[in-house]
Chains A and B, each alone.
Chain A
């Protein structure tokens, strides 16, 4: 009985560890492709993901720590992710919300006056944690215009039922399969996430920021928190949703979704020189940026509607001069599905400054809203299982599990005998 008791407790601990690492890995994947500062600091010359953490394939052994072996997905160091994950290592029942923020620099931006700046705030309950990753040396000033272009929501919905913690052999077999299945499905989900973050429009902005030597008038920041104010319906109407199929476990399920703006590509076509106070009404792109070459998916301005490269409405862009939301394009089909969480209605503080509603410039369109319409709102309901404060007692027990179930031990169930392995690709 004692042995079975120990075995039944090890399975929940494994699953808990998987979920915790899943949160960390997800955050890492997202911020790795959205945080320009981190990439530039790492001498980013092109993304590489090493799915084999072998020393021969890693650029430097120090870049890949044992934790990187999780989910067979070794990524480069991402301090932004590491700094923001501590809270969820202690309590993965709290949702993790990652906002990717497009920051437009002020018109009187002076490169010489910049200094790195970070914002770290915490509310009185200690529940929220905000971190503005706009720490690029070129954009240390406080951005006047911010717009959330992506909102990633990751949540582990725990079942309220007792779960299978019984001591029978049958339940042991079922529970032992659960962690294996969870780990496998987590791998698949993370790979899907990895691909999705690179297919969304914001990735193009990220690539431009880290690869271009030109000084941009925009930057990408991020905010990681467990509680956010939901978008207004007008804001959400301008966004598209993609919901990853949840990963069910015996004790709950992992849910991941993203709300993203499809019309962020126009921003990167801004000229690299500071713009004049008078906003250009018909902004397509500067000759320096070569909009035709870089952004063929961007619709043309109204002044030249016959330009063929932009005649087709791209699946991620739409006519920004339309007041109504874009029609649904099923081809890429970010799944339109009901949100699995709800949030009490909160006052939105995401309205842009009134001064932006002056022209019909492309950038300004990002900060304008369509007509107010009734509809659902995205929200995240804080887990009812969580206490207002961090569960420190739980975290202490979790630490002991982390010590006992390190990566090498946990990867054991998936290691098969080499005799049973077949060389990939053999015929």
Chain B
């Protein structure tokens, strides 16, 4: 089975926005989009308490990694897999996982609380010199919202175009497929090796960016 890989467009977020920009796959994670009362940005939530807990844990790990490696590009990999064979031995209880879909959420966390850096990938937003910091931040969040919408549409397009590789749904309650979330940054030596390793395990991937 081929592993479909989707590299989502890079999002540039500030440190305090990390929790507001989770990228989730539509296949197993029920997306619940709400517009916050105090913010126009989309807020993605899940209806599964356990899933939200796991995501919060991963986000905490991600934040720790960002703090250790500031100004680095970071990546969250959401991978869905099938359990191929259970190989229980005396010394290990290794379970072989066959990854069939991987999502790479690329985040560029900026440390500048006042706005984006010069290498921002966000659409250019004209800011008058006389604008207050609040307006600048509002403008930046507007741009981030647009980028996030683009990413969500990217997810929808991918899910629409790639269906044949999805295995039969094993779990009708809650999360449909087993998954794992890994975090890496550009400073990690395993940043690319992790993906390369999965490519070797799962066969020839089909990249879709």
Contacts and interface: CB of A to CB of B under 8 A. Distances in A.
A70 to B, nearest CB: 11
Interface of B: 26-28, 30-35, 37, 40, 42, 47-48, 50-51, 54, 83, 95, 123-128, 131, 135-136, 138-139, 141-143, 145-146, 149-150, 152-157, 159-161, 163, 166, 168-181
A312 B26 contact: no
A1 interface: no
A308 B31 contact: no
A332 B149 contact: yes
Most buried by A among B50, B171, B175, B177: B171
28 contacts: A46-B34, A49-B30, A51-B173, A69-B172, A72-B176, A188-B166, A192-B26, A199-B156, A296-B40, A296-B139, A297-B40, A297-B146, A306-B126, A311-B125, A311-B126, A312-B123, A312-B124, A312-B142, A312-B143, A331-B150, A332-B153, A333-B157, A334-B153, A411-B172, A422-B83, A424-B51, A425-B178, A425-B179
A314 B154 CA distance: 16
Interface in A182-239: 184-185, 187-189, 191-192, 194-196, 198-199, 204, 207, 211
A403 to B, nearest CB: 22
Contacts of A194: 31
Nearest to A417: B170
Contacts of B124: 312
A415 B172 contact: yes
Contacts of A52: 48, 172-174
Nearest to B124: A312
Nearest to A306: B128
A195 B125 contact: no
A334 B6 CA distance: 18
A422 B95 CA distance: 10
Interface of A: 46-52, 54, 57, 69, 72, 180, 184-185, 187-189, 191-192, 194-196, 198-199, 204, 207, 211, 244-245, 247, 292-297, 306, 308-309, 311-312, 314-316, 331-335, 411, 414-416, 420-427
Contact of B145 (A46, A72, A297, A306): A297
Given A51-B174, A188-B159, A420-B83, 5 more contacts: A51-B176, A54-B173, A72-B169, A296-B139, A308-B139
A245 B160 contact: yes
A184 B176 CA distance: 11
A367 to B, nearest CB: 26
A51 B177 contact: no
